[in-house]
Structure 1
């Protein structure tokens, strides 16, 4: 029994595929199969049952998997402690919500470049629902998203929260003071994409209050939402941090309403197993950067 065999066992069990494990470990599928067979022979027990071209963990495989995972975690922590922080290296597949892109992502990347010069980041900007799926399938190593993710296999680290505000062009006629929600929803509403929490909140409150929504303009691009609000195409439900300058310049008006959307809460989320010291370290760094930005 050796480390490569244990690592292969964990990845095959985690990804549910010899092919995906081979891709993750940068080796061939026959090599993965050979390692599993060798491990089973050394242990004297079957870890996977194979039938009709399919496979699944045996009861003994299920029993031994947590031990193998812990051994990999301890090996990674051993290597991490043996190395200086600035020697940390590798590729990190990072998913980021666009809200973070427009606020403190640049600060985070500068800290990474300064503190971990040997770390390369492959960046994907996407909505939370897609990033959650990619974390679970291990297509991403780490994501900054609207969290936390309620999935036992995902570790969540608190980052920051942003106030979500109603805003519109001064050209749109609305009463002064607190504006009833119904009056706001009589106008086109510009907000996050359909498969996001803010969009779902607007739909839920309109049904609860029995208010008919004039029109919803969902978009995966916050930059596009901001532009449409500035152009007077509707009332935007946007992060205040994104449009503070426009509000100060009176190019956008912040609206007080009888119903306010919930703050956007973000986490740095990453798979617990197999242990990835790079993802853990970057999540901790992101929490520090976010705290400095949000105060």
Structure 2
């Protein structure tokens, strides 16, 4: 029985759409239709109701009955491949979503290991904020996300990768007092921080809203590199991962600002959907965990 036909059946059933299944499997809609027609002919049953239009393609009663068996066959096949450790057999495309913090730290080490273990694999990479990456994981336009997690949704697997501490930092040009500062003292300058709808922004914004006195003004950015540059140029006070400003602190272009409150640490996870199956993401996640652990070990604690 043809593996690609079985795989196509599961993805069409999961996504409810030939076009989406074609995109997921990196092929054409006619190829998807041909695989389904071939499987139906081989099994001698009709698997889908094709109503046309924009309505989702629905499984027939026989299709619903057979789906769990096909999923089991595919899962066991992938597990056999995994247990045999024939990583060179992995091919195709891994659609990878990455948070910028990771892109600026241990992503190169991860991609190097990934290519070493799976040389036949292509990677399509998206660097974006976690909010957008999370949507991509849930609607399966991304296979794997290395993001500020976890994603608390059914069928999403989250593996912890690393934790980064945040600090307040500013240019020495701002001439801030060398003592512990109240947050009310920081609002004299723009607060340079993460993009809106991110966990750090929400936490920081809420904390400043609780204060009496003049409101804080935020310069929110999806680019940590841009935020760092703004801080160096004395535009405002930034909150950035320690790991991203170590060089600037050593050179003196930035200095840490001590305050009565500091934002929570950032926890990153490898997150992916495990339905209908996602062994490629599972194997890539194991590599990501090792890369993150090695990076943290080399960096030591902040």
* Other-structure match for 1:136: 138
1:200-247 deviations in Å (ceiling 9; x for gaps): 112222233456433211111111110100110000010110001212
* Other-structure match for 2:289: 287
Distance (Å, rounded) in 2 between the aligned partners of 1:175 and 1:162: 26
Distance (Å, rounded) in 2 between the aligned partners of 1:211 and 1:37: 69
After superposition, the Cα gap between the structure-2 partners of 1:181 and 1:65, relative to the gap in structure 1 and judged at 3 Å, is farther
Do structure 1's residue 229 and structure 2's residue 239 form an aligned pair?
no
TM-score, normalised relative to structure 2? 0.86
Higher alpha-carbon deviation: 205-214 or 176-185: 205-214
Q: Alignment partner for residue 240 of structure 2, among 238, 241, 254?
A: 238
Do structure 1's residue 19 and structure 2's residue 19 form an aligned pair?
yes
Would the aligned equivalents of 2:209 and 2:215 in 1 still touch at CA under 8 Å?
A: no
Secondary structure of 1:178 counterpart: coil
* Other-structure match for 1:123: 125
* Other-structure match for 1:98: 100
Secondary structure of 1:270 counterpart: strand
Distance (Å, rounded) in 2 between the aligned partners of 1:242 and 1:134: 26
Distance (Å, rounded) in 1 between the aligned partners of 2:62 and 2:258: 60
Distance (Å, rounded) in 2 between the aligned partners of 1:106 and 1:26: 25
Shift of 1:269: 1.3
TM-score, normalised relative to structure 1? 0.88
Would the aligned equivalents of 1:186 and 1:213 in 2 still touch at CA under 8 Å?
A: no
Provide the aligned length of Structure 1 versus Structure 2: 295
Secondary structure of 1:257 counterpart: coil
Which runs of no fewer than 5 residues in structure 1 stay unpaired?
Answer: none
Which runs of no fewer than 5 residues in structure 2 stay unpaired?
Answer: 298-302
Secondary structure of 1:179 counterpart: coil
Distance (Å, rounded) in 1 between the aligned partners of 2:119 and 2:42: 41
Shift of 1:98: 0.9
After superposition, the Cα gap between the structure-2 partners of 1:151 and 1:18, relative to the gap in structure 1 and judged at 3 Å, is same
Distance (Å, rounded) in 2 between the aligned partners of 1:212 and 1:72: 60
* Other-structure match for 1:208: 210
